[in-house]
Amino acid sequence: MEAKMTDIAAIYGHIGANKASHVQKIREFLQQPSVSDGDPKPVRQCAELLRQYYMDLGCVEADLVETGGHPAVWAFYDAGASKTLINYCMYDTQPVRVDEVWAAPPFDAEIVPGSLIGRSDFDSVMVARGAFNSKGPYRSWLNALESIVAVEGTLPVNIAYLAEGEEELGSPHLAGVVDRYLDRLRGGSAVLSIDAAQNEHGRISLDLGCKGNIYFEMECTSLAWARGARREVHGMMRSVLDSPVIHLIQAVASMFGPDGYTPIVDGLDSDIEPWAEDLELIQKLAADPAYLRELAEEHDVIAWLGDMREPTEILRRYFYGSNINVNGIKSGYTGPGAVTMIPSEAVCKVNIRLVPNQEPESVIQSVRRHLDQNGFSDIAISAPQSTGIMDRQYTGYTWAKTSRSSGIVRAALSTYEAYGAPLRVTPHSAGSGPSYLFNRAPLQLPICSFGLGHGGRQHVANEYLVLEGAGAVLGLTSAEQAYVDLLFTYAAQSHESN
């Protein structure tokens, strides 16, 4: 099948004509909670719903894949095509925290004026946990596929679907699922994931990979330390008792230089040389003043680290800075008033992003060695208990990189161009995902995220997805139409170019 034989206009028309039902499908998917760090029952129900979606599309093969945690979903659409695209997605979401204040219930997926959530630049947004990250865009991609099948009778490529329900937990079981389907996945030529990638100004970042990430807890207890008291005791004992919380504070402080940023952990490089092609991309991004300005606006930045001002320096750090982050710390009494006590335990949540060529095992070992060699051998390092990971000291994954010349990236770039979306290509996302499972050995596949449209506030209150376009931001219908273009562009490429 060749793209020119396809009636793209008819598919566009189908998408436009079915807008109401497409919106309703997105709401349906979002109204089914799938908080991976929560009750497993609704998560499984969401997996079942997704499996049904794949069957509705025409997948004869569509299975829940049992793991030690939430199930994955595997499905295969056999178009009889010579090319197979692997479509990875996450169907889980972050939790809703008790202190989050939402304009509409986070699992009602209500459509509200943007002004209601302080986004008066958009007429109409859907508000829900997962609206942007990532169930909203993913269901709109499935809407597009349904329209293709409705008009054309089939898809232009085979698609192997792999959906996981534990991305927000650090994908603890995804490696096992990939391993189980390895032979099937070897038949794929590229991996596509789905996004609503436009920022509020309509600009797109196409990331040629992502950082890795290791996440762990550092804990000091008086029992493990064999100092202080067996329980929290009155603060008047402090002059004769060691304090676990101060010990933990000293351990964390020992990992940083005076700037509060530079890691002084042996084996954890503080200045990493970017890959040559990435340095070029960094310089290009630095030459665009809007890029940094928008990054600052999006994250309410007061000042860049250490008062950096030179764009190339800031962006080099952004993409390649080696950094240790403390996501939270907790110990003792933190309520109102003046309670004095010596806490008997203290814990903090730490993560380290990994850039090429930092690897998780080597980095966690460096941290462990640093603590051991600096008087903190009693400080425990472990994956957060709720992740259920017992066999290593962290949750997370390594980095991934895809070449700009790979077929799927070229298809994405030309589709973005066709829609006139202002485009930036970055070395990799500053965030992390389990792309390495497809991108690194043994599969070594190119992996690319694609999608027009805009959403925001992932992981916080009033997460949203834009439904009606505004300025350069595409609305839902155009975003779904763009998925069609991507797919036919990719299908039309010669095999060798992948």
The Cβ of residue 464 has, within 10 Å, a number of other Cβ atoms equal to 27
Contact call for residue 459 and a second copy (CB under 8 A): yes
Distance CA 288, CA 297 (A): 15
Site residues for a second copy, window 425-454 (CB under 8 A)? 429-432
**Residue placing its CB nearer to a second copy in the complex, 338 or 441:** 338
Reduced to 3 states (helix: H, G, I; strand: E, B; else coil), residue 421 is: coil
Q: Which residues pair with residue 194 across a beta bridge?
A: 450
- What is the contact mask toward a second copy in residues 220 to 259, using x (rule: CB under 8 A)? --xx--xxxxxxxxxxxxxxxxxx-xxx-xx-xx--x-x-
- Which range touches a second copy (CB under 8 A), out of 137-145, 149-157, 163-171, 278-286? 163-171
Contact call for residue 180 and a second copy (CB under 8 A): no
321: left (phi over 0), alpha (psi -120 to 50) or beta: beta
Q: Which residues neighbour 162 within 8 Å (Cβ) at sequence distance 6 or greater? A: 72, 73, 74, 86, 87, 88, 89, 177, 178, 181, 185
**Residue placing its CB nearer to a second copy in the complex, 154 or 374:** 374
**Residue placing its CB nearer to a second copy in the complex, 300 or 496:** 300
Contact call for residue 101 and a second copy (CB under 8 A): no
Q: Which of 31, 67, 124, 323 binds a second copy (CB under 8 A)?
A: 323
Contact call for residue 358 and a second copy (CB under 8 A): no
Site residues for a second copy, window 257-296 (CB under 8 A)? 258, 260-261
Min dist CB 31 to a second copy, Å, is 23
Residue linked to tokens 């192997």: 160
Contact call for residue 318 and a second copy (CB under 8 A): yes
Min dist CB 128 to a second copy, Å, is 18
Contact 346, 380 (CB under 8 A): no
| Angle at the Cα of 279 from the Cα atoms of 262 and 421, rounded to 5 degrees | 110
Site residues for a second copy, window 368-387 (CB under 8 A)? 375, 383-387
CA-CA distances (angstroms) from residue 37 to 69, 133, 135, 411? Answer: 10, 15, 16, 35
Contact call for residue 330 and a second copy (CB under 8 A): yes
Residue linked to tokens 């389907």: 181
Min dist CB 101 to a second copy, Å, is 13
- Which range touches a second copy (CB under 8 A), out of 101-109, 135-143, 298-306, 466-474? 298-306
Min dist CB 319 to a second copy, Å, is 8
Residue among 347, 345, 301, 344 nearest 328 (CA) = 347
Min dist CB 98 to a second copy, Å, is 9
Q: Which of 124, 414, 458, 478 binds a second copy (CB under 8 A)?
A: 458
Contact call for residue 129 and a second copy (CB under 8 A): no
Contact 74, 161 (CB under 8 A): yes
- Which range touches a second copy (CB under 8 A), out of 42-50, 274-282, 343-351, 441-449? 343-351
Min dist CB 244 to a second copy, Å, is 9
CA-CA distances (angstroms) from residue 313 to 170, 285, 310, 431? Answer: 30, 11, 5, 19
CA-CA distances (angstroms) from residue 431 to 88, 174, 318, 498? Answer: 17, 18, 10, 26
Contact call for residue 175 and a second copy (CB under 8 A): no
Contact call for residue 146 and a second copy (CB under 8 A): no
Q: Residue 197 is encoded by which pair of tokens?
A: 């990638």
